[in-house]
Structure formats: structure tokens, C-alpha cells
Chain A
Amino acid sequence: MDQFNRKRPHGGMTKNQAKKQKFNENILSEAPQAIDVIEYARSRAAELQLLDEATKKRKVSQAVNGLMSISMRRRAMSHNVKRMPRRVREMVTIKANKHKKPSRKHRRRPKNLLQEYIRRQKNKVWLETHIWHAKRFKMADKWGYKIPYQPTNKSARASYRATQHHCQMIDVSYLCCIEILGKEENILNGVSSLCNSQTGPTVAAKMYLEGTREGNCVLYKQNQYPQGPICPATFLWRPKSEREPLRQLWIWCHPSSFEELWKELEACMSVSEKCEVQDISVELSCSIEDMRKGRTLADIANSSVLNNNSKEDKMSTISEEGPKQEDRSKVPKETQDKTKKQKSKKHSSTEKASEEKFVKVINRKSQIGKVFMTSLKDRLVRHRFIGPESQRILAQTLGIADIMFNNKETSYWWKEYYEDKKHSLDFNQQREFWDGVAQCQSAAELSPHAVIGLTVRDPRVIRAMKRNENSDMASESMVVEGIEAVKLMVSQEVSNSPIWEEEIRKTVTSTKKSDFEINQLKSEHLVPGSELMLGEEESRIPVLVIQNPGTNPSAHSHSHYGNGWDLILPAGWSMAFWVASIYHGARAGGLRELQCLANEQQIEHFPEDYPDTSAGREEEARVKSEKEAEHSKRPPAKRPNFTKLDVANPFSWAWDQLVHCDKEDTSGFHVLRDRKDLNTLRKVVNISRGQKKKCLKSSESVERFAPYQDILSRHQKSLVFVKISVNSKGCPEEMGTISIPSKEDVRKMKADKYFVGPLRSQQPDPELEDKKEKKKKAKLLKKGVLNLQPQKTPENREVAKDNVDDGEREIIGYVKHGGFSLNNGHGAGKGFCSLAGLEKLSESLPDERNLVLIRNPRTLQYRFARLSL
């Protein structure tokens, strides 16, 4: 009170006030006349500091936001940890010595950035185009690689359009290549035990041996056909040459089955050669300093081997062919020693860098008798071009190099290589052939799987033209010339390429001018934007171009969908060619686009559609756990009740149950890949509308079922890959069931045009009903009403069952993948049926042998669909 009065301005005074004033004056006289500010503050410094600290310092980290729902927040949570729920308390408390993340500016310094990149590559491999992709793609961590999955700015439909009308480019460098070097018969003896001629032409096929075609086949475990498939592989022989008695074979496989295939190859080789496997892998260590120069692991491996080898290899080339083989076996061992020495030298010379700074690279090699196996994993780059435009883009990106030279003063690999008359003649043929090819409008105009070897210019030097209409319109007179060349088959000379030589590949990689150098040269160039003329200094890159014919035209599908080219490059050149193709108008895609393409084409895609391989099983297990997690995340009312829907396996494909329904033995199933058997099945199952009438006229049922018995006897537990197309609306979905329609269903379908399919009756879920009843009881008890209800429910159920016709429709297969097919304009999918099931299908409906019912796991509705093989 007093204090208030003191502040009040003086006005007229009452008696009371006057009294009070007197009193106040007394107090005031007692008060100190001035305050010593410094002393005042000093005495309260401790308090102030406490206050300051309390406001500045957080006791609880800001990470709270993500950890808890908004409804769980409480006042002043950030100051008192105990207001947090106990489970998050530990995560949220700020520890005293927590390492602070350095600033972005610091992190983005080239030196630090590279170190970070190297750290991130420690347990997985990056593609050479990784950084380009990581900026624009969702990356998937798969099979030991970081693989671009899907572009963030493009939908699946846009990608489909790119494959249909333009050019889709996909980096598939993660595919692994195994090189086998040896005499032809030695290689064939070994490899032929892995493949079976019943599945189609094998590695030993005449048409592939020349090396002008890339072949593909499914590889099996040694002599286990039809059980134990490993993976589908594409393979390519090096064209024969008179000088080299040894032949080279490249087998390309998927990284998920690389290890398995490698071991199997070693085993089969050692059996055929009657020799132990000798592991002659070279282990290398590279300092991080080397990696800072912006090179990938593979480059370093290549170049460092090169440095060691170069002297010795020159020696070995001087020595004659006979002892060469022995030399080869010796070389790696020596290099191993040398690398060790070098490593120690490096240690002593440089300030004894800690061993952590060294990255291990393994140059995998093994020798079995006279056959050498080398892993070219990550040593070759493979780009896939899909679509009609790919032709134009490749023709523009790959400028044929000039290999003529006058003086031999400076040494380049191409001078050494093309000094040979034969090689330069080959080169001329290749150039003429490629000129012819470049005039084609589509890759599908050429012979399928043709291999063309080329030596091309540095793509960074050639500038992409701006696309306008004039450049699109090529003059018609030009076109006519090249026709003859293209129509013929590719000869061995055209397919040969220096890329097969390891030394040349390494030189090309190590002598690559860095982007910085090229840009420097460009900036010094007088006329900006014009082509750089580097003359002999320009790199010449050997490449292989492999045609991909796309789908085989048939009555149903659009023909040649998915045709294009594969481009194989030596390591280190991926980025240069990739960016150049992008400039020329290619659209980048990822793994999803590859899967989509396979789905549109309705062909198998590894590893998803190979359920009998170990990689396929792994993939299925992954899908299962993913789907289960997704399902269990939702509350019961917000997720489908699979008991009611009567779906036994909503998250996985029960192939085992399909194959042996009643029998007790549980040996594995396999997918039928026998070409002849599939052809006979095709004749039975694939009936188009025109053929149907013919079939009806000559309905020889005996003849029709004979093949089934025959095939069944040989492949008892086999699945058959089927293509599904839905008749009316609706799309098949993953894990959908394929079942045999009853006669009643078919009758209804024929009678009613709009009949899509029967409806399955809902199945009772005893668990749920028990729960409901318990709830009811609890409620009644609460109310005080005694439970005197008669049990009517079972009777009710029976009545309900009688109303809906619900013949169990036998399941003969499952849908592996399904959806709306943009190519066909209706729902389509692919799946597997058991062979026995197919037989039953054609027995029960002899007229409609490919008519099935499909039910997705989330519905009760069956839909009619047609199968084809």
C-alpha cells in the first residue's frame, strides 16, 4: 500500500493523507540516498545467471516432434524431462557431449564430401552414375548395390510412354559379368553341365559360338535339371580369331545370384577339368587419397593392377603362345607380392597413413586346370536403351572414332591395336555397318540379339544438337543405301571389339581425361559451343552394342514392344555416356521401369518371377514380411479380414501347396521350362477366337489330353508360367487366386453378356463372433439382465449358406503380378499354375480350355479371365 501511495502524484490532501505523508517522510529519510548499481547487480549475478541458463539451455531435445502424437504433448515438456512418457525419455534427453553435426557448408567442401561418399560406399556398391541418380531418383538398397528405383518426377505411365514412343534409358551396370577364358571345348565341357538343351539353345549352340549374337538361357545347378535353377543368364562369346587359340566367354547374371553361380561354375569346371580350384584372386588396397581423385573402386582396381602388370605383360606378349598360359598363371601371384611391396612402400613414404584409410578391393580370379575365371563385376558398364527413339539417340551419341594416324611418336592403345591390318579392316566394316544401322528407324528392323563392336569418340566432346523439326526429318534419299547392309546377318568381323582385351579396357579407363580437364579445354576454345578438336589426344572408347528385339509379334500383343539396345562400356565411362544420351533426349528410368516393362510384355523378370530359385524365394520372403508389417500396422476394423474373405495366404504365394495337394512328400517344385513341352501345352491352352470353332469341330478329346499325361509323368511337381488377361473390367492383383470355373458359371457367362463372375460367400470368423458375444454379455451383465438368450446363431448361419451357391472352386494357381496393362488396355497379369491344375482345367471345360476365375485377396468377387502360355 505504501509503495503505491508513494508513486501517486500529490494533489489536494486530506487529513489522513497528511498524516501518512509524515510517516512516509520518516521512512524515506531512513532509505539510502543512492543505489550502487554495480553492487546491486553483483549480489544478484548468480540468480541472473541461473535464469539465463534456464532459458537458453534445453534439457530436452527437439526431436520430440516425431516421437509423439500431438495429443500426448504437455506444457513445458522441453524443460522437464519427467513430463515425457517414460519410453521416450531416454531418446529425448540431451547428452552433454553429443557430437554436433558440422555445418552444411563444411560438409559440402569437396574434400569432406568425398570422404563422406567413401564412407557411404563401404558396405554397398554405388553405380558410377550414383550421384546423378541420387539427385533425381528414389534409391533402393538391393543385392549389395544402391540401385536407382524410380524417378521422383515421373509416373509409371510416363515411363511406359517413353518405352513405347521415345527412349527409356536404364543403368543396369549392377548386372555381374563373369569371364571364362580357355579352350572352347574345355569351357563347353564345364558350362554345358549347367544348362540343358531342353530349355532351348544353350551356351554351346552353333549360332552363339560365332560371337555375333548374345544368347540367354536359364542356368541350373550341376546336372540337376529340372530341379535347382540358379538364374537366367545372358552370355556372349568373343568372336573367333585365328591367332588366339583361347576363347573368351562372358556370362552376365544378376547380382542376387552371382555368388551361387560363381561357386557352381567353379565346381562344374573342376569336375570337367578334373582339377582343384585354385584361387588366384588379387587383393588390393587403395588409399583414400586415390579415391579423392573422383575415381570409383573399380577404376582403382583396374589401374593399380595395370601399373603392376604393365611391365610383365609386355614380357609375356614377347614370349610365344605356348608358355603364355603358364605366364598367365604366374602373373597374378607376382602381382600379389608386388602389391604388398607397394603397399609397404606407400606406408613408409607417405606419412604412414593409418590403415583405416585404405579401402580393400578384391580382384577375383580363379584357375581351374586350363580354364581361367575372372569376375568382371563392376568392371563393365551396361546401359539399356528401350524404345524406338533409342536408335536415333545411340546413333547420335556414338560418333565413330577416327583411327587413322600418321606418326607413331606418341603411343596410344588404339594405335597399337589398329596397326594390325586385320583390326583396321574390321573397323572399316564396323563403321559401314553402323552407318547402315544408324539409318534405321527402329532397332527391331535388325537381326535379333546382334552384337556390334565399335570404337567411338569421347561423348563429352560431341555437343548434342538442339532438337527441332528440321533435324528430325532426314532426307529420304539417304535412307535407301543402307538397307542391304542391315538386312544381312552380322558377321564376326563386325562383332569383334577391343573391349574384350583386359589391358585395353584398363588403359581406356586410366587415360580418361577428367571432366575438369575437358571443361577447361572447352572454356579455352575460341568458338564457344563448337566441337573440340583434340586430334590424337581425344580418347577412343571401345564399346559393344547389343540389339534387343522386344516381344515376338503375335496375334494379341503389339509387336516388338520393348525393343532397343544394350550398350557395354569399359568402367569409368558410364557418366560421360549417360549424360550425353540424356542430352540427346533419352529419359532415365530405374528398377521399377524394368519391372513395369516386363509386366507389360508379360514376361518373367528375375528375381521376382523365378520362385524356384533361391533369389526368387528370398524376394518372396521379403514381400511377405513387408505385406505382413503393413497389415499389422492397421487396426482390425481398418484392414481386410482374411478369414471372412477366405484367403488362406494373403501375404505369400503357396506354391508348395499347389503342387502337392495330397501327397506327403515335400520335395521342392520347379517351373516347367522345357521348350517342347511348353509348345505342346501352348497348342492345347492357347486358343484364339478364330481357332475355337475349328477346335469344336474336331474335338478329339483323347488327343488333347495325351500330352498332359506325357508331360505330367516327367514333370510331376511343376508350375507353368501363364499370362492372364481379364475379359471384362477389373485387374488381377498380387497373390490373387486362379481357379477353375464351375459349369454353372460358364453357363451363366454365356447367357449374360454382363456377367463378370460369381460371388464368393463370406465365411464366418469364429474369433470375431466370440469377441462380439462376449461384449454383448458384458453389456447385459452391466445392465443387470441375466443372459437367457437361446443360441440361434448356428441355425442362422446354415440358412445363409443355402442361399448363396458356393461350390468350392479349386485353386490351380496364383497371380504373381497383376494390374492394368497400358499396352493391352485392360487388366492383365502373370502368374503360375500347377501343371496338374491345368490338366484339370481342360478336363472340366473342354471347350473353354483357358477360361479361369480370378479372385483378388481383398474381394469376394470372382472375375473371368483367359490364360495363355
Chain B
Amino acid sequence: MSANFDGTSKSSSVESKEKSSKSFKELIDKEEYDLRKRLPRKLPKRKTDVYITRKTDFACQLERAQKLLDSENEVYVHGLGAAINRAINLALQIQTESQGLVEIAAHTSTVELVDDLEPQTDDLEPETQSRNNSAIHIKVYKINPVKVELKDATT
């Protein structure tokens, strides 16, 4: 599949690798390029996913997650980059408020992000720059005491 995207596209990506991120910063500072961050790739959103952002009020996001957890058995809290702290904070708060009825399980990943560099002058080619950022995915789930008891009885 990627073979079809040879030519201009691949060469530009090679170039972008050659240029370190530092040189791009210089270019941006010189006002030759304008930085435009693309949206990180999202998986199709399930009902139980909560993506944490720093731009929405924390209490609001907490409430949303809490409400979801009331109707569902588990909620996935995702945080990317600077929002990781928030995601952890949110998951922990849900846990403490539940008085031991909720457990959390976290795992981390790396997300590849793409930035577009838009030239500000006529004679420059557009560039892309890819970088990695860390992400956290926290599964917040109920431990159902009723089910556990039943299981115990059967065994």
C-alpha cells in the first residue's frame, strides 16, 4: 500500500527526518513556517471512552465519567501528553469517592503525532514533522461484590 505513496510524499518525509526538530524550531522562529498541529489519531469512540482535555473544566469531566460509571461497569479514561496528570487525577478521584467499590488499572502507550509546517513564503515546500508523545489509558471498573460472593458459593 505504501508503495503507492512514493514520489513526492516519501521524499518529503525523508527530508523531515533529516532535519531535526531543533532546526524546525528555528525556522518557525524566523517566521518562515507556521506550525499547525494535527489532531492526534483517535480510535473509534466507544460509549465508555472518556478523553480528557485540559480545556474543559475538570469538575465537569469528573462528573461525566462518574455518570458513565453509574450506568456501565467500566470506563476508560484516556489522557495524552499534558493531560496525563489530569487523567490520573480524575481516575483516582473516582476511586476514592467510590469507597473501595472501584478499581483502576492503568497502562501507557506512545502516540505518534504529526505537525504540519506551513510555509509563509512562496518558495518553500510544506513539511511535516512527526514526534512521539506519551499517553495513558486507565480502565476504571467496578468490583462487583455480589458476583464475587456468588462465585465463592459455587466453588
**Which A residues lie at the B interface, using CB under 8 A?**
197, 200-202, 204-207, 210, 213, 428-429, 432-433, 440-442, 444-448, 469, 472-474, 476, 479, 481, 483-485, 487-493, 549, 552-553, 558-560, 563, 675-676, 679
Contacts and interface: CB of A to CB of B under 8 A. Distances in A.
A201 B119 contact: yes
A590 to B, nearest CB: 27
B25 interface: no
B19 interface: no
A444 B39 contact: yes
19 contacts: A206-B125, A207-B118, A210-B8, A441-B42, A442-B42, A445-B39, A445-B41, A446-B38, A447-B128, A473-B44, A476-B43, A479-B43, A481-B1, A485-B2, A487-B112, A488-B10, A491-B5, A492-B7, A553-B36
B30 to A, nearest CB: 11
B119 A679 contact: no
Residue of A207, A210, A428, A476 with most chain B CB atoms under a 10 A cut-off: A207
A429 B4 contact: yes
A205 B37 contact: no
Given A206-B122, A206-B125, A491-B5, A559 B39 contact: yes
B87 to A, nearest CB: 18
Contacts of B46: 473
Nearest to A207: B126
Contacts of A479: 43-44
User: Size range of the interface on B?
Assistant: 35 or more
A296 B46 CA distance: 45
B126 A202 contact: no
A200 B120 contact: yes
Contact of B55 (A205, A472, A485, A558): A558
A433 B3 CA distance: 12
Nearest to B9: A488
Contact of A489 (B9, B31, B44): B9
Contact of B122 (A202, A446, A549): A202
A448 B115 CA distance: 10
Given A448-B36, A448-B116, A489-B8, 8 more contacts: A197-B121, A201-B119, A205-B123, A206-B123, A206-B124, A441-B45, A445-B40, A474-B44
Contacts of B95: none
Contacts of A481: 1
A262 B112 CA distance: 46
Which 7 pairs of residues, A with B, have the shortest CB-CB distance?
A444-B39, A488-B9, A441-B42, A205-B122, A207-B126, A474-B44, A489-B9
Contacts of B55: 558
B89 interface: no
Contacts of B121: 197, 201, 205
A589 to B, nearest CB: 22
B37 A553 contact: yes
Contacts of A442: 39, 42
Nearest to A486: B41
A859 B37 CA distance: 42
Contacts of A210: 8
A428 B4 contact: yes
Contacts of B37: 553, 559
Interface in B35-66: 36-47, 55
B116 A447 contact: yes
Given A445-B39, A489-B8, A675 B120 contact: yes
B133 to A, nearest CB: 14
A441 B124 CA distance: 30
A207 B125 contact: yes
Nearest to A560: B39
Nearest to A679: B31
Interface string B125-145: 110101000000000000000
B114 to A, nearest CB: 6
Contact of A204 (B10, B39, B122, B125): B122
B13 interface: yes
Interface string B73-113: 00000000000000000000000000000000000000010
A445 B118 CA distance: 15
B67 to A, nearest CB: 17
Contacts of B2: 484-485
A201 B39 contact: no
A644 to B, nearest CB: 41
A492 B120 CA distance: 21
B41 A549 contact: no
Contacts of A493: 7
Contacts of A559: 37, 39
A432 B44 contact: no
A492 B8 contact: yes
A167 to B, nearest CB: 15
B61 to A, nearest CB: 14
Given A207-B119, A448-B36, A484-B1, A491 B7 contact: yes
Contacts of B125: 206-207
Given A201-B119, A206-B123, A488 B5 contact: yes
A552 B44 CA distance: 23
Contacts of B44: 441, 472-474, 476, 479
Residue of A202, A552, A558 with most chain B CB atoms under a 10 A cut-off: A552
A489 B55 CA distance: 29
B128 A205 contact: no
A428 B1 CA distance: 11
B9 A491 contact: yes
B5 A201 contact: no
Contacts of B43: 441, 476, 479
Nearest to A209: B122
A493 B41 CA distance: 25
Contacts of B13: 488
A489 B9 CA distance: 5
Nearest to A825: B57
A485 B1 contact: yes
A204 B123 CA distance: 9
A552 B5 contact: no
Contacts of A213: 126
Residue of A205, A469, A490 with most chain B CB atoms under a 10 A cut-off: A205
A447 B44 CA distance: 20
Nearest to B42: A441
Contacts of B4: 428-429, 432
A235 to B, nearest CB: 13
Given A441-B44, A484-B2, A201 B122 contact: yes
B8 A440 contact: no
Nearest to B122: A205
B39 A487 contact: no
A446 B125 CA distance: 17
A487 B40 CA distance: 11
A675 B120 CA distance: 8
Nearest to B57: A825
Residue of A445, A469, A487 with most chain B CB atoms under a 10 A cut-off: A487
A679 B7 CA distance: 35
A626 to B, nearest CB: 37
A675 B7 CA distance: 32
A492 B43 CA distance: 28
A434 to B, nearest CB: 12
A454 to B, nearest CB: 15
Nearest to A197: B122
Contact of B12 (A485, A489, A558, A676): A489
Contacts of A201: 119-122
A204 B114 CA distance: 26
A137 to B, nearest CB: 31
A245 to B, nearest CB: 21
